[in-house]
Structure 1
Amino acid sequence: MFANENDVEWNDIGPVDTGFRRKQLGRAAGGEGLGCSLYELPAGERAWPYHYHTRNEEALYVLDGTGRLRLPDEDRELSAGTYVALPTGEGSAHRVVNDSDDVLRYLALSTMEEPDVVGYPDADAVGVYAGSPPGGDEDERVLSGFFETGDRVDFWETIGGE
C-alpha cells in the first residue's frame, strides 16, 4: 500500500536512442489497477519510442526540469507542474524528449489493463501484451511481441487452413 521513492531501486531502460531510468512506485506499493513510475531522463535523451496504447490511458506529471512532449500534430513544452492526460488511441501518440541541459524528472501513471496493443507509428509496428500489461510483470505474460504491420498474413491461408 505504501512505497517510498528512496526504497525503490532504479531500473535503467533503453539501449539505442534512449537512455533513461525509472522506479516502479505503483508495483512497489502493491498497486494492481493503476501503475505509477518515476522517470529520470538525462539531458539530450528521449524516453520510450513514439507510441500510443489501444487499451491503457496514461498521464504525465512533471516534477522537475524542462523538455517537450512530441504529439501527432504538435510538440508541447514540459516544465515543472505540467500535467498531461493521454487517452487511448492514435490521437494520443506521444514521446517525452529532454532537449534541455538538465535532468527531466516526471511521474507517469497508467491504467494497467490487458491485453493491450501498442502502436508505434514511426516504425509502422505494433506491440502486443497479454497476461500482464505494459509495465507489468513480464513473467506473467502469456503472449507478447513486436510486429511490423506489413507482416500481416491472410487468416484462411495461413492459420485457418489444414
Structure 2
Amino acid sequence: MGPINEADLEWSETDRGETRFKRKQLAQAADGEELGCSLYELPAGHRSWPYHYHTGNEEALYVLSGTGTIRLDGDTYDLETGDYVAFPADESGGHRVVNDSEGPLRYLAVSTMNEPDVTVYPDSGKIGVFAGSPPGGREERSVHGYYDRDDDVDYWDGE
C-alpha cells in the first residue's frame, strides 16, 4: 500500500469522564502489522487512557503540537512540541498523558503489536488481557477482557 494522509482519515472519539480524546489509527489505515501508530488529540483539560503499562508491548510518544504533562513511572514531567518519550514493556513504562493547557495537545503514539499482552492499571487495580490480536489490533481476539488484579484463584479450585 502507498502513503496515507491523516487528513483523509476520520477521527474516532473516546469520552469517558476525564478521559477524552480523538484518535486516527495511522498504521491500521496503512496496513501496518508489526508496528502500530496513532495520532491523538487531547482537548484542553482532559486526559488520555488511564494510567497503565503493557507487559508485552513497548510504546513511545512524540509531541507534534501543544503542551501538557505526562505521568511516567510515578513522576510527572512537562511535555512540549518535539518531546519524545519511550515506555518500556514493564512497570517502569507506566504512563498517562494530561492536557493541562488552554489548547489542544497532538501527539503520535507508536507501539509494537505483540500478542498476547497484559495491560496493568495500577490506580484501579485492574488488568486487561489481549490474545489473538494485540491492543489496538484489528483482528478478532480469542481472549479479551478486563479483570480485578486481585481476583486470583487457585489452579485446582473447582475440580
Q: 1:1-162 counterparts in 2 under 5 A?
A: 1=1, 2-137=3-138, 140-158=140-158, 161=159
- Tell me which protein shows more helix as a share of its residues: 1
**Following TM superposition, by how much is the alpha carbon of 1:17 offset from its aligned partner in structure 2, in angstroms?**
2.3
Three-state SS of the structure 1 residue aligned to 2:146 is: strand
SS of 2:10's equivalent in the other structure is coil
1:88-121 per-residue CA deviation (whole Å, 9 max, x = no partner) reads 1011100000011110000000000000000000
**Identity across the alignment (%):** 59
Q: What is the distance in 1 between the residues matched to 2:15 and 2:141?
A: 20
Secondary structure class of the residue paired with 2:50? coil
Larger mean CA deviation between 69-78 and 114-123 belongs to 69-78
Q: Deviations over 1:138-159 (max 9, x none)?
A: x51111000001211111013x
Unaligned runs of 5+ in 2: none
Give 5+ residue unaligned stretches, structure 1: none
**3-state SS of 2:150 partner:** helix
- The structure richer in strand per residue is 2
Please give the alpha-carbon distance, in whole angstroms, between the structure 2 residues aligned to 1:72 and 1:61.
Answer: 17
The DSSP-based 3-state class of the residue aligned with 2:120 is: strand
Give me the CA root mean square deviation. 1.0
